[in-house]
Amino acid sequence: MIDIPAPCRLRLDGAALVANWQTLNRMSGRAACGAAVKADGYGLGATGVATRLATAGCRDFFVATWAEAQALAPLGLSVSVLHGVRAEDMPAALAGFARPVLNTPAQIARWREAGGGMCDVMVDTGMNRLGISADDIAAGLIDGLAIDTLMSHLACADEDSPMNEMQRTRFAALTGRTAARRMSLANSAGIGLGEGYAFDLTRPGLALYGGVPRDDMAGAIRQVVFPEAQVLQRRMVRAGESVGYNATWVATEDTEVAIVNLGYADGYFRAFSNQGVVYFDDAILPVIGRVSMDLIALDVGAAPNLAEEEWLVIDYHLPSQSRLTGMSQYELLTSLGTRFGRPVP
Ligand SMILES: *Cc1c(COP(=O)(O)O)cnc(C)c1O
C-alpha cells in the first residue's frame, strides 16, 4: 500500500487535553477524575486519548459499548461500559477487559446468573434515561453484587436548574445504602456545579476535548481539536459572478477565492455555509457560498500570499461554532469524519 497523506487533518493539542483533565481533576476536589472516551474519544481517537490521559494519571475510563471497550483492551485500563450488558455482549463481558454498568433489572439478573464479577450500577435520579430506581435498591435488587461504582447522571447540569440539586439530593440519599465502593454523579457540566456534585469519582467527556458546557467554565478549558485542510485551487471571481451550489453567494466586487478540501463528508455541515471562518496565519477567511460534499470556498482577499496546496486552520472553537451553527458541541466533535488524519494527541 502506498502511504497517501490526507488532504485534511486534525491537529490534536495533547498538552491541552492533559491540561483540561488536570483542571477537571482539580475542580473535582478529593474525588478522582475519570474520562468518558466513548464514540472513539468523542471523535478524536479513543486509544490515543486514553493513552495520553492514563499517562497523566487518569485511572477510570467510560465507553458506551463492548466493541469500544475491546478496542481499549490492549491498554490494560479500568474501563466501564455505560450501556450495560445485552445477551449478545456476555461473551465480551465475561472476558474481563471491562466491567458493565448495569442499568436494568434484566441486566442485573443476567449478570448474576452468569456469575459475573465486579460491576458498576446506574441508578436513575430523575433523567429517566438509563438506570434502576432508588426503590429497586431499597427492595434489595442489587444486594450481594460486587459493585465498584454506583452512578447516576444529571439531566440539566449545563443550566442552573432546580433539577440539579434535586438529583444530587436523591443520589446522596443512597450513600451507605449499597455495597458500592464509590459513588459518581458528575459529567463535565456537573463538575462545574461544584464539589458537592463530585462524590468519589467524576466522569467528564466533552470538556476534556475542549467543549465548554457552562459559560462559567470557559476560562478554564482549552481548545484541543484544530481541523486543517488544504487549498486545491485559487481563482478570481468577477463582480456579479456567483460561487457554489445554488449560487447562494454573489461577488459584489472582484474577489480572490480559494477552494478547499473539506465538506459534509468530513463533518463540516451545511450550517457553516456563508458562516464558517478559516485562518491562514493571522488572516481571517470567511466561508462563502454553500458547503459542498467535499469542498468549501473562501474569500481569501485578506491572504494575498495564500498559494494552492497551502494548509489552512478551520475555526472549530466548540462553544462559538456551536452558537454559530446551532449544532451542539457534541455533534461538532463526533462529526469529524474518517478522512481526517488523526495523529496521536
Ligand atoms: C457521556 C457520559 C458522560 C460524559 O458526559 P459529558 O457531558 O461529555 O462530560 C458521563 N456519564 C455518562 C453516564 C455518560 O453517558
pTM for the predicted model, two decimal places: 0.96
Give the number of the atom of ligand 1 that is nearest the alpha carbon of residue 64.
Answer: 15
Pocket of ligand 1 (CB under 6 A): 36, 38, 82, 153, 187-189, 203-206
Distance, in Å, from the CA atom of 55 to the CA atom of 88, rounded to the nearest integer, reads 33
Q: Which of 53, 62, 121, 193 to mutate to test the pocket of ligand 1 (most atoms within 8 A of CB)?
A: 62
User: How far away, in angstroms, is 189 Cα from ligand 1 center?
Assistant: 9
Residues 241 and 249 sit within 8 Å (Cβ to Cβ)? no
| Nearest residue to 191 (alpha-carbon basis) of 180, 176, 200, 202 | 202
> What cell does 274 get?
456563508
Give the number of the atom of ligand 1 that is nearest the alpha carbon of residue 330.
Answer: 8
Q: Which of 187, 214, 322, 332 to mutate to test the pocket of ligand 1 (most atoms within 8 A of CB)?
A: 187
The DSSP code sequence of 60-114 is EEEESSHHHHHHHGGG--EEEETT---GGGHHHHTTTSSEEEE-SHHHHHHHHHT
Digitized pLDDT (tens) for each residue of the chain, 345 residues in all: 898 888 999 999 999 999 999 999 999 999 999 999 999 999 999 999 999 999 999 999 999 999 999 999 999 999 999 999 999 999 999 999 999 999 999 999 999 999 999 999 999 999 999 999 999 999 999 999 999 999 999 999 999 999 999 999 999 999 999 999 999 999 999 999 999 999 999 999 999 999 999 999 999 999 999 999 999 999 999 999 999 999 999 999 999 999 999 999 999 999 999 999 999 999 999 999 999 999 999 999 999 999 999 999 999 999 999 999 999 999 999 999 999 987 778
